[in-house]
A and B are shown apart, each in its own frame.
Chain A
Amino acid sequence: MIQGRITTVLGDDINTDDIIPAFRLQQSNDPEYFATYAFEKFDSEFRSRCSEREGNVVLAGKNFGCGSSREQAVYALLYNRVACVIAASFPDIFYRNSLANGLTLVAVPDRSGLGMGDELEVDLAAGSIRNRTRGTAIPFSMKAEDRRTFQAGGMTARVRAHLEEILTKR
């Protein structure tokens, strides 16, 4: 169960250049570094809004995270204590990068029952977002394998087991 509050509301087609600009990417190999520059050119208040507490939720429109494959965009969100992104849709590369790092993404076609400041409980097992501020519930669907990966915080354990298999056979 993810507990959080919507601290950022964005529109459609937010791209990974918006989330973290290119010229920061090669300045560090430390994932936490990118937190400092999240939405640097796009939303300069983002960091201060996220700094108040754990469990920030980003609410966005269609196609959140499109464009460049830079995984640093996922780090920029994770290390600003973003617990979950709720959007109308996500393109594949960003979705995979989030899966790999355990940043939970929830696709909800109709977001009219959600708004800035709402307190949420996102229940992956039940496939439901409870809006505590408004006393409503919004169902969502998620593939079982993705739910398992998000709950496990990423895919690494599985890949390690596979590598074991391969090295044993070699």
Chain B
Amino acid sequence: MGQTMAEKVVSRQVGRPVYAGELIERLPIGKLFFNDVIGPPSILILQRLFADTFKQHGQPVQVFDPRRVFMLPDHSVPAYSVQVAEGVDLMELFGRECGVKVYREGDGIEHVVLIEDGHIVPWDIVLGTDSHTCTNGAMGALAFGVGTTDGAYAMATGHLYDFVVPETFQFELTGSFPKGVYGKDLILHIIGVLGAGGCSRRVAEFMGEGVRRLAMDARTTICNMAVEMSARTGIMSTDEVLLEYLKDRAQWPVEPLASDPDAKFADRLHVDLSQLEPMVAFPHKPANATGVSRLAEMMAKSQAQPGPDFPPIHSDRITDAFVGACTNGRYDDLVEAAKVLRGHKVHPDVSLVVIPASRKVYERAMDEGILQVIVKAGANVESSNCGPCFGSHMGVLSKNAQMISSSNRNYQGRMGSRDARIFLASPATVAASAIEGKIADPRKYL
């Protein structure tokens, strides 16, 4: 019987054919990475739980394979508090002791940097201590977010325990995006259709000619938000665009991967990209998505039928705007934001924060004059990190704030006050809204 990508990758790892639903007691993994939020406690758990075992074998605490483990301080850097700084110190110290690569503060966000540096390849099994590890599925890797303890276990033994091979939900994309519509709009549309739990326990595979036409930056945006419909992860097959991207970049052997045509899929959805328009997700969840042409209707609905995740919205005015995050802080995203901002000024009532998602993106955008356009328009450009998406620094929101953001989560209280309202959209829509001081359609600027 044919296999999905997920089934193939797991089969190879365990050395026998497996199918969805099977329990794998010990799944060997390929790559493992930690950020500054979960890395420090995970290191401490590793030391606390396993130091004795290592000692009995006359060995220091170490990781299963230093070449496959990465530490990336990216959430709250440059450190905004003593506790954060000491956490980063711990990662550096531990990394040196174990021979693990530790990135510098400002090198960028985990889900951007490891891909850029060629560490993620098709057929990989990737664990990251962050729910948006699913981003790495755009490379054809099977990538899962895990918590502190699973991360510590994996550091010690290189395995994930009691893993159940997931089913796959296939999203077939055809056509191509009209002007002003991007990967972000597509994934918001899909999440809006399926809901916050619509893909739970399944892998979201995005396939079809619609995907093959997309550049890598758009693909990572799409896989990034698979978890917002509770998918186990997102994944895409290997094609010319990916192979070209990996050429001269991949640090590991590259082998193409695709699902078999006769594989068994749990569900299917077809989306025609040419039918989409710019999307906006209303507070407080990504699934509250609507087309930009239907803002008034959505506002009326929020007033008539509000709920805990859907507060009444009385105005389309915005006070804050953010372009960045692991969702939409890549090079192509900054290019699109700059296209909109060129020759315009940010509205006097709006604070626009722009954060290139990695040092490499930052440098390229600087060299090519893209940052110049963005800075001249009146944006605050910060060094590479998660920024306001994590709600701890660089643009924390007050109770009066109404924010539009290119990030992936608009939960209540996510970026500061629980009374702030956060809308999600593409970088172009965020930029257009920053100019007008209200949620705006980007198409007239393109």
Q: Do A and B bind?
A: yes
A residues near B (Cβ < 8 Å) are: 11-13, 15, 17-18, 21-23, 25-29, 41-42, 62-63, 66-72, 74, 89, 91-93, 96-97, 99-101, 143, 145-146, 149, 154-156, 158-160, 162-164, 166-168, 170
> Across the interface, do A160 and B418 meet the contact criterion of CB distance under 8 Å?
no
CB distance from A94 to the nearest CB of B (A): 8
B418 x A42 contact (CB < 8 A): yes
Q: Is the CB of A91 within 8 A of B200?
A: yes
B residues whose Cβ falls under 8 Å from a Cβ of A? 23, 25-26, 36-38, 40-41, 44, 49-50, 53-54, 57, 59, 64, 75-76, 81, 83-84, 87, 129-131, 133, 144-150, 153, 156-157, 159, 161-162, 196-197, 200-201, 227, 230, 232, 285, 308-309, 390-392, 396, 409, 411-414, 418
Which chain B residues border A170 with CB–CB below 8 Å?
A: 57
Our pick among B64, B83, B390 for the contact of A22 (Cβ within 8 Å) is: B390
Q: Which 7 A-B pairs have the closest CB atoms?
A: A71-B147, A100-B149, A97-B147, A41-B413, A63-B197, A71-B148, A41-B418
Q: Which of A15, A27, A28, A62 has the most CB of B within 10 A?
A: A15
Instruction: Select from chain B the residue with minimum beta-carbon distance to A101.
Output: B149
Sample (11) of A-B pairs whose CB atoms are under 8 Å apart: A25-B37, A27-B81, A41-B412, A67-B227, A89-B197, A92-B144, A96-B146, A160-B53, A163-B53, A167-B53, A168-B57
Minimum CB–CB distance for A164 against chain B, Å: 6
A99 near B162: Cβ-Cβ < 8 Å: yes
The distance in angstroms between the C-alpha atoms of A91 and B196, with both chains bound, is 10
In the bound assembly, the distance between CA atoms of A27 and B41 in angstroms comes to 11
| Contact present for B412 and A66 (CB under 8 Å) | no
A26 to B83, alpha carbons, bound, how many Å?
7
Known pairs A66-B197, A96-B150; A149 contacts B162 (CB<8 A): yes
Q: Looking at the assembled complex, report how far the CB atom of A64 sits from the nearest CB atom of chain B, in whole angstroms.
A: 10
Chain B residues with Cβ below 8 Å from A63 are 196-197, 200, 230
Asked if A42 and B38 make an inter-chain contact with CB atoms under 8 angstroms apart, the answer reads no
A163 to B418, CA, bound (A): 44
Q: A71-B41, A91-B197, A168-B57 are in contact. List 7 more A-B contacts (CB 8 A).
A: A11-B308, A26-B36, A26-B40, A26-B81, A71-B147, A92-B144, A159-B153
Do A92 and B201 touch (CB < 8 A)? yes
Q: Which of A11, A23, A166 contacts B157 (CB 8 A)?
A: A166
**Bound Cα distance A56, B114 (Å):** 42
Q: Within 8 Å CB of A41, what residues of B?
A: 412-413, 418
Q: Is the CB of A70 within 8 A of B147?
A: yes
When chains A and B are docked, how far (Å) is the Cα of A139 from the Cα of B200?
23
Q: How far is the CB of A129 from chain B (nearest CB, A)?
A: 22
- In the docked arrangement, what's the CA distance between A93 and B75, Å? 19
Tell me the nearest residue of chain B to A96, going by C-beta.
B150
**Measured between alpha carbons, how far is A162 from B25 in the docked complex, in Å?**
11
Closest to A165 in B: B157
Query: By the criterion CB–CB under 8 Å, are B197 and A145 in contact?
Result: no
- A17-B411, A67-B411, A91-B230 as given contacts; A29 in contact with B418, CB under 8 Å: no
Closest to A157 in B: B49
A22-B392 contact in complex given A67-B409, A92-B232, A167-B53, C-beta closer than 8 Å: yes
Q: Known: A26-B76, A29-B44, A163-B53. Is A93-B131 also a contact (CB below 8 A)?
A: yes
Query: With A23-B392, A41-B412, A162-B159 in contact, is A71–B200 under 8 Å at CB?
Result: no
Cα distance A162–B409 in the bound complex, in angstroms: 37
CA distance A13 to B194 in the complex (A): 13
Would you give the shortest CB distance from B29 to chain A, in whole angstroms? 13
Bound complex: CA A28 to CA B44 (Å): 12
Contact B129 A69 (CB under 8 A): yes
Q: A97-B149, A155-B162, A163-B50 are in contact. Are A22 and B391 (CB under 8 A)?
A: yes
Please name all residues of chain A whose beta carbon is closer than 8 Å to the beta carbon of B159 when the two chains form the complex: 162
Task: Assess whether B145 is in contact with A69, with CB atoms less than 8 Å apart.
Answer: yes
Find chain A residues with CB under 8 A from B36 CB: 26
The distance from the CB of A165 to the nearest CB of chain B, in whole angstroms, is: 9
Contact residues in B for A149 (Cβ distance below 8 Å): 162
User: How far is it, in angstroms, between the C-alpha of A72 and the C-alpha of B149 when the chains are bound?
Assistant: 11
**What is the CB-to-nearest-CB distance from B191 to chain A, in angstroms, rounded to a whole number?**
12
Complex Cα distance, B54 from A166, in Å, reads 10
Whether A17 and B413, one on each chain, are in contact in the complex, defined by CB atoms closer than 8 angstroms, is yes
What's the Cα separation between A21 and B411 when bound, in Å? 10
- Closest residue of chain B to A68, judged by CB? B131
How far in angstroms is the closest Cβ of chain B from A71?
Answer: 4
Asked if residues A26 and B53 are in contact (CB atoms below 8 Å), the reply is: no
Return the chain B residue nearest A167 by Cβ. Answer: B57
Kindly list chain B residues whose C-beta atoms are within 8 Å of the C-beta of A99. 162
Contacts of B156 in A (CB 8 A): 159, 163
Residue of A nearest to B418 (CB): A41
Q: Which residue of A lies closest to B129 (CB)?
A: A69
How far, in angstroms, from A30 to B157 measured CA to CA in the complex?
24
In the complex, which residue of chain A has the Cβ closest to the Cβ of B25?
A: A145
Contact B412 A18 (CB under 8 A): yes
Give the CA-CA distance A17 to B392 in the complex, in Å. 12
